Structure 1
Amino acid sequence: MSLQSLSFRLMAGHSDAKRDRGLNAAPDDILRINDIPYGPDVKWNTLDVYRLRNLKGKLPVIVNVHGGGYVYGSTKQYQFYCMDLARRGFAVVSFNYHLAPKFKFPTPIFDLNLVMEWICKKAGIYGFDTDRVALVGDSAGAQITSQYAVICSNPEYAEVMEVTPPDFRLRAVGLNCGMYDLRKRASEISENKLMIDYFTEHPAVYGKKLDVLDYVTGKFPPAYLLSAKGDFLMDQCEPMAKLLMERGVPCEYKIYGDEKTGHVFHVDMRSDLARKANDDEIAFIKKYM
């Protein structure tokens, strides 16, 4: 692992723990089931399910794809955010995926596809409505989410990625504080050791797999994109939104807060601005559910 990735893990872990300190991990209104295996790797292939206790039957599904620069993150850092989503009437699935540097691109995509297969197989047990599914992701998770949405909406790219999505309907995506142009990021690889840990020093070996945006069509699911004025990836939001709109995809985007409003601000469950941003995104998603 590069020194940059190790430093990032330490700083992010400290920041996330400070953000969530004192929050209730077991509220009475939420049914949560933790550490369910969804794939062959007992260390990495686990997920959590959240839903309101008083809602019975099938619910629309939100799958959360965590961020962390491909080298950090787990369901733990997103538990309070996912409970907030569940309170809005969804069954929420939050999952762990293989992290770099031990596991390289595009391993998280394969893990996400395993999660979707698991959701389809277990729909009757957990009350998942697989005709009403949304994906949300932030930072690296937003990139993974957008890439998987291209796989689901363009069979040509699915073939390039050698991924066959199961039978579900992806109604909308929430792309939060993300990076989307893999080809451009790969061209800047020497400047970012974090990306080397994920893509290796020779990303050209991935060929067309990096050309995600070239495969975006009008069948890409409706998308809500958000960022913040203090987000170091803010400049990625508007170009992606405009690309989607140019391809005929229903899309909205918004930059929140001021220069003090930072990366993945929307995950802070004590923040009024986070609540507003999540209200906006969920209202958009519900339009297509």
Structure 2
Amino acid sequence: MAKGRRLIKLLIAALLLALLFGGGIRWVIAGGARSLDMADRLIGSGDGARLLVADQRYGHGTRQYLDIWAPGGVREGDRLPVVVFFYGGGWSSGEREHYGFAGRALAQQGFIVVIPDYRLAPRAQWPDFLQDSAEAVAWTHAHIGALGGDPDRIALMGHSAGAYNAAMLALDPQWLRDAGSDPSVVRGVAGLAGPYDFLPLEKGGSADRAMGKVRPVERTQPIAFARGDAPPMWLATGDADTRVRPRNSQNLAAAIERAGGSAALRLYPGIGHTGIVMALARPFRGRAPVLDDATDFLRGVTGRRIAPAKGIVP
């Protein structure tokens, strides 16, 4: 039976690779994150990771729920680094249960991974999704210690609109303060193909539908809050991204550096907007080292501070 299951997985892997190099990216995109998560699970990417908590409420709204992924061996009393992952979808679509591939990938790297839902347009408008994102981080800081995570080692990560949410929480302290948390709980941000500098808004586009009524509209732009004392940021994008142009990451990284802050820019050749998040899933990791690069950054910013030895003045 075990050999049969392994054979089936190998055949699925072969099929996925064939699809990948024969228009498979379009096939996965057509099914969205749901198809990507299914492919990731079928190949067996869950080894070494498990869904620790599902459907955890972090607020009172209908979309204020989150899932938590963890390494398979996590135990009570552990203090593992934590990543809060915000999915994309133009602030108008997305479901946390379809992003298990991201939760599994990061949990296998030793992180506790929190994936929250948040309010979406057209029912919600800016700043509803930012307020929800901040409440999810505040809940994580308050409760993750009982679930094997270290509340003093929290980083944020997101793709597309989710990267926007993460960047805004890190750059503008008001959101976490309003959620009753301390902005300093965020140790760093890993952003994948995020929109950070996208004025003027495209009329009728996803950003216009989500935040077009805000005045002044500059309040919606992460680049407007670039500051030297912000948490370190790792901004990744693909040079083939035509949906959220690479200049968004390039401009924000440059603005943070001009302010005296820390921002690393990573440009992946031949990678498009969805390809950069697909690279977190096992069938597509060979396309770009997104998981390895993001993990290196996240481990660095969530590294435990080591107390100096006695008798040594730091």
Shorter-normalised TM range:
0.7 to 0.9
Q: Is the 8 A contact 1:266 1:273 kept in 2?
A: no
TM-score (norm 1): 0.83
Shifted more, 57-66 versus 229-238: the winner is 229-238
Alignment of 1:187-226 (within 5 A): 187-190=200-203, 192-200=204-212, 202-204=213-215, 209-210=219-220, 212-226=222-236
Cα distance in 2 for partners of 1:214, 1:125 equals: 37
Cα distance in 1 for partners of 2:250, 2:218 equals: 24
Alignment of 1:13-24 (within 5 A): 14-24=31-41
Structure 2 gaps, min length 5: 1-27, 303-314
Question: C-alpha offsets along residues 37-87 of structure 1, whole Å, 9 cap, x if unaligned?
Answer: 11102x301100011121331111100011000001121231111110011
Deviation at 1:31, TM superposition (A): 2.6
Cα distance in 2 for partners of 1:229, 1:193 equals: 22
Find the counterpart in structure 1 of residue 119 from structure 2.
98
Report the CA distance shift for 1:12/1:22 in structure 2 as closer, same or farther (over 3 A): closer
Cα distance in 2 for partners of 1:144, 1:163 equals: 15
- Return the match for 2:60 from 40, 54, 63: 40
Q: Which has the larger radius of gyration?
A: 2
Find the counterpart in structure 2 of residue 265 from structure 1.
275
Find the counterpart in structure 1 of residue 50 from structure 2.
31
Alignment of 1:169-248 (within 5 A): 169-181=185-197, 184-185=198-199, 187-190=200-203, 192-200=204-212, 202-204=213-215, 209-210=219-220, 212-232=222-242, 233=244, 234-248=246-260
Deviation at 1:226, TM superposition (A): 0.7
Q: Is the 8 A contact 2:138 2:179 kept in 1?
A: no
Question: C-alpha offsets along residues 142-186 of structure 1, whole Å, 9 cap, x if unaligned?
Answer: 11111110123xxxxx28x972551462111101101112xx53x
Shifted more, 25-34 versus 116-125: the winner is 25-34
Find the counterpart in structure 2 of residue 166 from structure 1.
181
Report the CA distance shift for 1:217/1:165 in structure 2 as closer, same or farther (over 3 A): farther
Question: C-alpha offsets along residues 214-269 of structure 1, whole Å, 9 cap, x if unaligned?
Answer: 332111111111111221222312111111111122221111131xx211323321
The residue type paired with residue 95 of structure 1 is: P
Deviation at 1:138, TM superposition (A): 1.0
Report the CA distance shift for 1:219/1:90 in structure 2 as closer, same or farther (over 3 A): same
Find the counterpart in structure 2 of residue 80 from structure 1.
101
Find the counterpart in structure 2 of residue 145 from structure 1.
166
Q: Is the 8 A contact 2:238 2:276 kept in 1?
A: no
Cα distance in 1 for partners of 2:180, 2:172 equals: 8
1:109 equivalenced with 2:130 (yes/no):
yes
Q: Is the 8 A contact 1:46 1:96 kept in 2?
A: yes
Report the CA distance shift for 1:274/1:61 in structure 2 as closer, same or farther (over 3 A): farther
Cα distance in 2 for partners of 1:228, 1:69 equals: 18
Q: RMSD in angstroms over aligned alpha carbons?
A: 2.4
Q: Is the 8 A contact 2:105 2:291 kept in 1?
A: no
Equivalent pairs, count: 264
- Return the match for 1:276 from 286, 289, 292: 289
Shifted more, 124-133 versus 12-21: the winner is 12-21
Q: Is the 8 A contact 2:50 2:104 kept in 1?
A: no
Cα distance in 2 for partners of 1:73, 1:211 equals: 22
Structure 1 gaps, min length 5: 1-10, 153-157
Tell me the secondary structure at the aligned position of residue 137 of structure 1: strand
Q: Is the 8 A contact 1:146 1:175 kept in 2?
A: yes
Shifted more, 274-283 versus 142-151: the winner is 274-283
Question: C-alpha offsets along residues 185-233 of structure 1, whole Å, 9 cap, x if unaligned?
Answer: 3x3342x332232124x332x5663354333211111111111122122
Q: Is the 8 A contact 1:180 1:236 kept in 2?
A: yes
Cα distance in 2 for partners of 1:166, 1:207 equals: 26
1:54 equivalenced with 2:73 (yes/no):
yes
Task: State the percentage of identical aligned residues.
Answer: 24
1:288 equivalenced with 2:305 (yes/no):
no
